[in-house]
Structure 1
Amino acid sequence: MPITPEHVGREYPPAPPYIVSHAKIAEFADAVGDDNPAYRGETPIAPPTFAAVIAAQAWGALFGDPELGLALNRTMHADQAFTFHRPLRPGDAVEARLSIQKVRNRGNLDIVTILVDLIVDGDSVCEARSTLMHTSEDADA
């Protein structure tokens, strides 16, 4: 059965906690070419898009759900937005909890909006919302 609007509201267990570290923040800032001093030193914060690294770990549950019929190799990441309540910092043990927010089916194209809530010590620190465009297996033929 393919993903349908009836799957809206489905929630998945959190991915294993991701421990934010000084090194990971610096590596990410280097990888994206951002030399902002806020990402360095004794009390750095993570660049905003660092949240995508953690949110993507929760995607495994979505793509591993056999009922949905989603395949990563037929998926394009169309949009990403973040809502922050505070920056990510070294020492944060972040749980990423994914839920399906919206599903639209157009022919062999599924447009799926997901929300990954990033939680530290029981509090939401960031919501990462993504829109994914997925083609059905029939489209490969």
Structure 2
Amino acid sequence: MTDNTAPAFEVRVEHGKIREFARAAMSTDPAYQGADPVIPPTFLTTAGFFWQTAESKAAAVHGLDPQRTLHAEQEYIFHGEPPRAGQVLTATARIADRFEKEGRRGGSLTFVKVVTEFRDADGTLVAEQRSTAVQTAHAPKEES
């Protein structure tokens, strides 16, 4: 890891995984079926679960405690047509922003915005995933 960027990892866009993801999302869009399917827009979320190594996981980059961390926001940006089955993407995650705000019941809140870039075999940026996580300083206190 250099400064705020985790090591790159490879994402193999597999035909069967696109179909499984579309089915799980209850999508019948024909673009996700057939011999040359594109990925559903939120498919890239799976990269963190299936392809990312321990060294490149966002948690390792931003150091938040998973027991006090919530997923707050997710955004996808495609720079052209979505990736298709058979493509191999190279992904890198970096911290785009980190800041604190005072919360009510959980004390100080730490916000971490992570951007994961997905590049094709030519190195062209094809998609970005922007995520925000929020960590409380401690477990929420009961209101009186």
Cα displacement (A) at 1:61 = 3.2
Report if aligned partners of 2:48, 2:57 keep a CA contact under 8 Å in 1. Answer: no
* SS of equivalent residue, structure 2 residue 6: coil
Aligned structure 1 segments of 4 or more residues deviating by more than 2 angstroms: 55-62
Q: Deviations over 1:5-52 (max 9, x none)?
A: xxxx7111112x121111000000001111100000011111011011
Among 82, 85, 88, which residue is 1:90 paired with?
85
Among 81, 96, 99, which residue is 1:101 paired with?
96
Q: Which residue of the partner structure matches residue 131 of structure 2? A: 130
Q: Separation in 2 of the partners of 1:20 and 1:58? A: 16
TM-score normalised according to structure 1 size: 0.81
Counterpart of 1:95 in structure 2: which amino acid? T
- Does residue 75 of structure 1 match 2:74? no
* SS of equivalent residue, structure 1 residue 51: helix
* SS of equivalent residue, structure 1 residue 77: strand
* SS of equivalent residue, structure 1 residue 30: helix
Q: Separation in 2 of the partners of 1:58 and 1:36? A: 31
Q: Which residue of the partner structure matches residue 105 of structure 2? A: none
* Identical counterparts, % of pairs: 33
* SS of equivalent residue, structure 1 residue 140: coil
Q: Which residue of the partner structure matches residue 114 of structure 1? A: 114
Consecutive unaligned residues of structure 2, counting only runs of 5 or more, are 103-107
Q: Which residue of the partner structure matches residue 6 of structure 1? A: none
| Greater RCO structure (CA 8 Å; 6+ sep) | 1
TM-score normalised according to structure 2 size: 0.79
RMSD (Å) for aligned C-alpha atoms:
2.1
Q: Deviations over 1:66-113 (max 9, x none)?
A: xx5412222111111111012111111122201111111124210111
**Which structure's residues are more often helix, by fraction?**
1
Consecutive unaligned residues of structure 1, counting only runs of 5 or more, are 1-8
Report if aligned partners of 1:29, 1:39 keep a CA contact under 8 Å in 2. Answer: yes
Cα gap change, 1:53 to 1:84, in 2 (>3 Å) = same
- Does residue 140 of structure 1 match 2:135? no
